Amino acid sequence: MRDHDATTCKSIRQARKRGKKYGNSLLSISNSTLPVYHTTTNSFTTSGIIATSPSALAGTMSSLIDKAKNVVSSHKKSDGSLPKVLFVLSSHDQMGDTGKPTGWYLPEFAHPYYKLEGKAEIVIASPKGGAAPLDPSSVEMFKSDEESTKFLKEKEALWKNTQKLSDFVGKANTFDAVFYVGGHGPMFDLATDPVSHQLIKEFYESGKVVSAVCHGPAAFVNVKLSDGSWLVQGQEVTGFTNTEEDQVQLSAAMPFMLETELEAHGGKVVKAEPWQPKVVKSGKSNKLITGQNPASASPIGEAILAAL
* pLDDT digits 0-9 by tens, 128-138: 999 999 999 99
Q: What is the pLDDT of residue 76?
A: 78
Strand positions, DSSP E, the chain: 36-38, 43-46, 49-51, 84-88, 121-126, 163-164, 177-180, 209-213, 236-237, 268-269, 279-282, 288-291
Please tell me which of 7-11, 35-39, 57-61, 116-120 the model is most confident about, judged by mean pLDDT: 116-120
pLDDT single digits (tens) 105-129? 999 999 999 999 999 999 999 999 9
Q: Do residues 103 and 140 lie in contact, with contact meaning Cβ atoms separated by under 8 Å?
A: no
CA–CA dist 99, 134 (Å, integer): 15
Burial class for 245, CB neighbours closer than 10 Å (0-12, 13-18, 19+)? buried
Give the H or E element holding residue 201.
helix 194-205
Q: Is the pLDDT of residue 263 over 90?
A: yes
Q: pLDDT above 90 covers what percent of the chain?
A: 73
Using alpha carbons, select from 52, 49, 53, 56 the residue that is nearest to residue 34. Answer: 49
CB 137 within 8 A of CB 106: no
Identity at 201, one-letter amino acid code: K
Q: Give the pLDDT confidence score for residue 116 in this predicted structure.
A: 99
pLDDT score, position 288: 99
Task: Give the CA angle between residues 238, 94, 125 to the nearest 5°.
Answer: 65
Report the pLDDT value the prediction gives residue 75, as an integer from 0 to 100.
67
Render pLDDT for 184-234 as a digit per residue (tens, 0 to 9). Answer: 999 999 999 999 999 999 999 999 999 999 999 999 999 999 999 999 999
The pLDDT score that the predictor gives to residue 26 is: 32
Q: Express each pLDDT in 145-171 by its tens digit.
A: 999 999 999 999 999 999 999 999 999
Would you state the pLDDT for residue 250? 97
- With cut-offs at 50, 70 and 90, classify the pLDDT of residue 80: confident
pLDDT of residue 77: 73
Does residue 127 contact residue 286 with C-beta atoms inside 8 Å?
no
Task: Indicate if the pLDDT at residue 81 is higher than 60.
Answer: yes
Dist. CA 70–CA 72, nearest whole Å: 5
* pLDDT higher than 90, residue 66: no
For 56, counting Cβ atoms within 10 Å of its Cβ (0-12 exposed, 13-18 middle, 19+ buried), the class is middle
Say if CB 280 and CB 270 are below 8 A apart: yes
Q: What is the pLDDT of residues 91-110, one digit of tens each?
A: 999 999 999 999 999 999 99
Check: CB of residue 269 under 8 Å from CB of residue 259: yes
| Residue-averaged pLDDT of the chain | 85
